Every structure is written in structure tokens, then in C-alpha cells.
Amino acid sequence: MALTGNSNIITRKYLDSLLIETRYMNSSVPDQSLTLYGQHFDSPVMTAALSHLDHFMFEGATSLYASAAAKTGTVLWLGMAEDPEVERCASTGAKMVETIKPFADRERIFQKIRHAESLGLLAVGIDIDHPFAEDGSPDIVDGYEMAPLTTAELRDFCSCSSLPLIVKGVLSTYDANEAVKAGVSGLVLSHHNNRIEYAIPPLMALPEIKAGLEKEVPIFVDCEIQTGLDVFKALALGATAVCIGRPLMTAIKKDGENGMAEYLLDVRKQLSKAMAYTGCTSLDKMDPTVIHHASWL
């Protein structure tokens, strides 16, 4: 793949162009805890919704991903998976969000939602950004055909379960408000690992989407998030919580469950440092004016 227009590279450059203004006066030791969907969490640092880790890494990698999340009290987002794999991850005790693809067979989506509810998951997600292949035809994933969702269909999915439903793959105020009209309980701003070139970096889109929402819902961010400083920038600009993916894969390859757990805890420490140094000492005191865009970087 040509690097020109690669959305991952563009996103990383944008993240690095965001500079932080320090504010030490009247600051205090920060509290990064949050309440989400009626449950308390120590940190807004979450895993990303990765799929097929056993295939891309090694057998058992998905289970390590889940157990490290459980060990650190981190919300686990899981990507496309068959029901037994979802059950194995849920059995670790991790608070979990299963992300479901936009299957053309809509009954499969309903079935996946019902299964997630039976496992007592924290929430379910739907990838709205995965209906098309590279040539714009319907995508085929693991033998399943995909199809774009309508607002009416999304409303039916939201109303079929008591679980919060979160839409993943939002990069426009239009999609955000269509999802909100349907009754979603959250949005994930993401270009899904460069699914389209020249995509807007999620943090660039975040302030406009947040300001344009017709109804306030939690907003999550992923794509190229690597450090606690990246997490801080997203939170300061209005995110509710932030998802980390590929760095955790590297940590698992290096040192298994302990490597991933250590990485997550280090990110939390970096986040606490940034919060303390800017006077943003709790999540309800995050301030977008501490972030400055250096266009010359």
C-alpha cells in the first residue's frame, strides 16, 4: 500500500501536532475515574476492538488480550468473533463491548446482540464503516457479506435489547446525528485502520462532531493512540474515553499478559502526569483550551 494518503500516518502526524499548555497553579493530584453505563472504572483508557488476534499473532492471543484487560480493570472492546470466542473473553471477568459487523443477514446482528445480552456484557457496538470492499462492492468478511445500515435498521437494533448500543466508525456530524436519532448510546470516532485513504483524523473531527450533536452521548476515540499523552489530548478535546489497539499487540508479543497489563498501567501513569501538569485534575475538568495545534510540525 502506498504511504501517500495513508490515514494512519496522517492521524499520527496530527496527534503529534497537538501541543499541551501547562497550568500548575491550583492543580492537584488527578482523578481519572469515570462512570459509564452505570458502572465505575478507574480510568478512561480502554482497549480497541481488535479482531482475529489468534490468526494475526498466535493461538491464544485473544484470550491474553482479554485476561490482561480483566487484570487491570480495563474495558475490553472485542472485534469480529464467533460466539465461543466471545464467551471465552467474557469468562475472564473483563467488562466488555462486543463490536458486531454490519452483516447483510440482519438476523445475524440481532442474534449477536441477544447473545451479548445473555453474557451480561457492558455494551455492544456495530461497525457502520465496514460495508464496502476496496472497489465499493459489498465487503465479504470470513465468508459473511456486509451491507450499509439505514437509520431505521439501527433504530431496530437499539430497541431490541437493554444493552447500550454504540456505533463505531463515525467521522462526520451527519453519521453522528443519524446514529443519535436511532437511539444509540455512544459513538466511536475512527477510520478503522485506514479503511479509506485521506480520512479525517478522529481528533480533528472530534470538536465539530461533539458541538454538532443533537443529543449528548459518550464519545470514544481510537486510531493511532499510543501513549497517555495521546489519551490526554483526546479527553481534553471532548472524548469520554479512548481506545488503544496495536501497541497492546506488540506488548503481548513481547511479554504476554503481563506485558500488556504493564503497558496499560504505564499509559494511565502518563495520563495522570498530563492531567496534573495542566490542572485538568478530573475528567469533568478537561479543558480543550490547553491544546494548541502547531500547523508547522
pLDDT for residue 3 is more than 90: no
Q: Is 143 left (phi over 0), alpha (psi -120 to 50) or beta?
A: left
Question: What pLDDT is attached to residue 267?
Answer: 98
Question: What pLDDT is attached to residue 48?
Answer: 98
> pLDDT tens, 130-152?
999 999 999 999 999 999 999 99
> pLDDT tens, 6-58?
999 999 999 999 999 999 999 999 999 999 999 999 999 999 999 999 988 99
> pLDDT tens, 70-121?
999 999 999 999 999 999 999 999 999 999 999 999 999 999 999 999 999 9
User: Rounded to whole angstroms, how far apart are CA atoms 217 and 115?
Assistant: 24
Dig out the grid coordinates for 250 from the structure: 506488540
Domains and CATH numbers, the chain: 7-289 (3.20.20.70)
Classify 100 as helix, strand or coil: strand
Q: Torsion over CA of 139, 164, 180 and 49, rounded to 10 degrees? A: -40
Classify 40 as helix, strand or coil: strand
Q: Quick one: pLDDT band at residue 1, thresholds 50, 70, 90?
A: very low
Question: What pLDDT is attached to residue 4?
Answer: 78
Question: What pLDDT is attached to residue 296?
Answer: 80
Cβ atoms of residues 41 and 73 within 8 Å: yes
**163 Cβ contact list (under 8 Å, min separation 6):** 113, 116, 117, 121, 123, 124
For the segment 245-269, the average pLDDT, to the nearest whole number, is: 97
Question: What pLDDT is attached to residue 194?
Answer: 93
> pLDDT tens, 216-251?
999 999 999 999 999 999 999 999 999 999 999 999
* pTM of the model as a whole: 0.96
Phi and psi at residue 140, in whole multiples of 5°?
A: -120, 120
